[in-house]
Structure 1
Amino acid sequence: IVDATADAVCAFKPQIAHFAALGAEEALRHLIAHIHTLHPGVPVILDSKRGDIGSTAEHYATEAFDRYAADAVTVNPYLGRDSAQPFLDRADRGVIVLCRTSNPGSGEFQDALIDGRPLYQHVAERVARDWNGNGNCLLVVGATWPKELAEVRALVGDLPFLVPGIGAQGGDVEAVLKNGATADGDGLVISSSRAILYAGNGDDFADAARSAAITQRDEINHYR
């Protein structure tokens, strides 16, 4: 699937739990190495959503950036800056901070009001203002929340977003571009996973994935 879709995507985003649950961490490492070797222009985002105290976070950063050689990683900001600092210090790697996630229950805490504004807005502002000294931060803002996409974009300027929720989760591409893109029509890494991975279930699964990826790419570019 990687080889069939590499010229149609802007990044690959393997989810570490799907490999770890099967004891397949070495397969993940080899997959990322394969991408770097055969498709060096396509960055790899390790979707691990790590968040822990500083001493443990140092090991998580080493895991993501040294063991797996990921170009970027998703992190959970709930523990505060010291839990993200080992990632932020790697100025040559991307740190993608959860902000307004695409899952249906995300509002349970992310919508909690603090000083009259929802928590996700405070996260967005803090990351843009205080955490991005190396210029390597992005925010996760789900395609399933177009109104919130617009709100966060207004708060953080041109800070890039990773936008999950297109495809199987039902996010709308046109709404994502309208509400989340920068003035130049950029600033978005739009993620579609299951709709591409499982586009086919026969021997032609790679071709089916390629077709789905091209269709998704063309739809995104249509609304830019």
Structure 2
Amino acid sequence: MTEAQLTSEIRRKKTFLCIGLDTDLEKIPKFLRSSKDPLFAFNKAIIDATHDLCVAYKPNTAFYEAYGSAGWQALERTIAYLNESYPDHFTIADAKRGDIGNTSGRYARAFFEAMAFDSVTVAPYMGRDSVEPFLAFDNKFVILLALTSNAGAFDFQTLPTPEEALYLQVLRKTREYAHAERLMYVIGATKASFLKEVREIVPDQFLLIPGVGAQGGSLQDVCKYGLNSRVGLLVNSSRGIIYASNEADFAEAAREKAKALQQQMGRVLRDLKI
């Protein structure tokens, strides 16, 4: 999927919602746990119930890797189902990879070629040669961790450098990378007040905003500081949607939570005429 296609889908559906598929066997409804592939069965039901209310899905790979080969197969089935049944959705492998040279290249091939994700989250700590191998793939995107939503983000990301905070240096430096037009950035919803400075450095890039919902981030603040003329946001909600119920009505409950966010986003886009 191209950026233009993603923007077109946002405008068509009047939403910039991304749903995180952080699927945990201990949290899904008990009746699903005895099925042959409970992780995929849960994901499929969530996707079928919410696909018209969002433009992106983001499986966090840790929730699949934790179950070994069976978990990885569930992840493969999930992305295959999305690509076959709902190809108009932007897909994010939330893997937070980050290594040098050939290793990054292999990670990129795993997510971009073997599983055909549209994007992957990458940690920038090891620098240019850990990021550029991911950027070498046409019509694929790197979503770089810049300022995350967790409390520990303040340990390093906001530390001052002689010029400015470290996360701002990350934004500024990575704009010099080869194929930097394929970069997107993670900015946590719980850090919405920082978005003004972020937009001064990366006015045009898409920002993935986790932390709305269970983590307490404010959609209103995110929109106030983060929207650009092309929308430029993917706001993620995971637990607040997919675990709205752990009973037989879990998919319907997830739909209602997703619909509430979609309607809020639709009002924002309407009011701002974006």
TM-score by length of 2: 0.79
Match of 1:212 in 2: 257
Question: Which one of the candidate residues 86, 93, 101 is aligned to 2:148?
Answer: 101
Q: Map Cα deviations across residues 4-44 of structure 1 (whole Å, 9 max, x no partner).
A: 11111010000001000012101100110001111110121
1:138 aligns with 2:184: yes
Question: Which one of the candidate residues 48, 52, 65 is aligned to 2:112?
Answer: 65
Q: Map Cα deviations across residues 187-218 of structure 1 (whole Å, 9 max, x no partner).
A: 00000010001011110101111111111111
Instruction: Give the number of aligned pairs.
Output: 222
SS in 2 for 1:138: strand
How far apart are the structure 1 equivalents of 2:268 and 2:219?
A: 8
Deviation at 1:150, TM superposition (A): 1.4
Match of 2:59 in 1: 14
How far apart are the structure 2 equivalents of 1:165 and 1:86?
A: 28
Letter in 2 for 1:5: T
SS in 1 for 2:56: coil
Deviation at 1:185, TM superposition (A): 6.1
Question: Which one of the candidate residues 194, 205, 224 is aligned to 1:159?
Answer: 205
Unaligned runs of 5+ in 1: none
Q: Map Cα deviations across residues 87-110 of structure 1 (whole Å, 9 max, x no partner).
A: 010121011000000101101100
TM-score by length of 1: 0.96
CA contact (8 A) 1:131 1:137 kept: no
Letter in 1 for 2:51: A
CA contact (8 A) 1:177 1:185 kept: no
SS in 2 for 1:145: helix
Unaligned runs of 5+ in 2: 1-45, 270-274
Match of 1:148 in 2: 194
Tell me: higher relative CO, structure 1 or 2? Use CA pairs within 8 A at least 6 residues apart.
2
> What is the percent sequence identity of the aligned residues?
41
1:81 aligns with 2:128: yes
SS in 2 for 1:45: strand
- Give matches, 1:195-206, under 5 Å: 195-206=240-251
CA contact (8 A) 1:91 1:135 kept: no
Moved over 3 A (4+): none
SS in 2 for 1:78: coil
Match of 2:7 in 1: none
